[in-house]
Copies of this chain bind each other. A is one copy, B any other.
Amino acid sequence: MRILIIEDDRRTSEYVVKGLSEAGHLAEALADGRDALVHATHTPYDVLVVDRMLPGLDGLSLVRALRASGVQTPAIFLTSIGGVDDRVDGLEAGGDDYLVKPFAFSELLARVNALGRRPAVQAEKTVLRVADLELDMARRTVKRGGQKIDLQPREFTLLEVLMRNEGRVVTRTMLLERVWDFHFDPKTSVVETHISRLRAKIDKPFEVALLHTVRSTGYSIHAPL
């Protein structure tokens, strides 16, 4: 299992990396919150172990930022801040578990394993679903109400990004970045064009629309109401 430890205390992080490695996992450590944000976004880890107090970007904000950008990797907070409210904050920020220092390594291992197993659920999550629309990452297929729909690659990625952010508005800028890997505004209507084509396939032939435009901002996909 691939695990990222974000912890600025060198001793702790080495200890944890060593322990997890011995248990057969692939563990890496980072000390800075901002670096971690980048890595965790671009690399498919199975579990994150996050210290709350970090240089660069604190752990809470880190996890919040990850969740906000659609990264669902399970995260365990590992910290000396252990009050009830702190736990609540941690979980509300999108953490999955909370372990207070000092901790027993065996307990950390157990929890990491437990969380890592969950991706079994997430691994099946190659299928994204919004209302009666489903997108199968593995098969690269899309269906709506059992009806198979053919999408072109761009359209597929576009839909994927939208579905991963169900309910949230995805701005044009975000789309350009995630779907096109453009880091500037092309000043043309690429996005609109593809949205239009996508719509024609996933919404037009059906009763209710799932893909909504949010004028002056972007688009959002979500079940009716």
B-contacting residues of A (Cβ < 8 Å)? 11-12, 14-15, 18-19, 22, 33-34, 37-38, 41, 56-58, 60-61, 64-65, 68-69, 97, 101-107, 110-111, 113-114, 119-121, 124-126, 138-140, 152-153, 167-169, 171, 173-174, 177, 183-185, 214-218, 220
Residues of B within 8 A of A138 (CB): 68, 167-169
The reply to whether A15 and B107 form a contact with Cβ atoms under 8 Å apart is no
Residues of B within 8 A of A171 (CB): 19, 22
Instruction: Kindly state the separation between the CA atoms of A100 and B185 in the bound complex, as whole angstroms.
Output: 18
A220: min CB distance to chain B, Å: 7
Instruction: Kindly state the separation between the CA atoms of A106 and B110 in the bound complex, as whole angstroms.
Output: 33
A142: min CB distance to chain B, Å: 13
Instruction: Kindly state the separation between the CA atoms of A57 and B173 in the bound complex, as whole angstroms.
Output: 30
The reply to whether A168 and B139 form a contact with Cβ atoms under 8 Å apart is yes
Residues of B within 8 A of A103 (CB): 183
Inter-chain pairs besides A68-B138, A139-B168, 11 sampled, C-beta below 8 Å: A15-B183, A18-B173, A33-B114, A37-B107, A64-B120, A65-B120, A105-B174, A106-B174, A140-B169, A152-B215, A153-B215
Considering the complex, give the chain B residue whose CB is closest to the CB of A148.
B225
Considering the complex, give the chain B residue whose CB is closest to the CB of A171.
B22
